[in-house]
Amino acid sequence: MKLKKVTALVLIVTMISANFSRLFVYAGFELNKNYIATKLCENRNKPWMHCNGKCYFMKKIKQAQEHDKNEERMAQKNLLQDALFTQKTEVKFYSRVLQVMQVPNPRVSLPSIVLPVFQPPQLG
């Protein structure tokens, strides 16, 4: 019984962490803002830009979004592979059914109206 509870808890935490990856990136940025601004920021040598680590933050957000997109593509790919048939199907044609139909079918007639082909006016 305890194993089921632990498994359920692990699955819940996994689902939450997968769906809130950008939230975790933001929380990590807020907690380590001073370190990021002084050590990891690309614009740390240009204080007049007032970046304060936002370039690093935006890069990490973009990486998280790309990671989410890749995971979504892989999930869709796996669903598509599961939906495809793996068993070979055999198609049979019965000659008796093909002989009943006449060619051409007298019930279907094409219109016998002859119209001239439209030609656009020629330029000068």
Mean pLDDT for 44-60 is: 82
Residue 52 DSSP class: T
Helices then strands, each counted (H, E), the chain: 5, 0
Q: What CA–CA distance (Å, rounded) separates 49 from 62? A: 21
The reported pTM is 0.46
Instruction: Reply yes or no on whether the pLDDT at 81 is more than 70.
Output: no
For 89-122, write each residue's pLDDT tens digit: 787 776 665 555 555 666 666 667 777 777 788 8
Give me the pLDDT at residue 60, please. 84
Instruction: Reply yes or no on whether the pLDDT at 7 is more than 80.
Output: yes
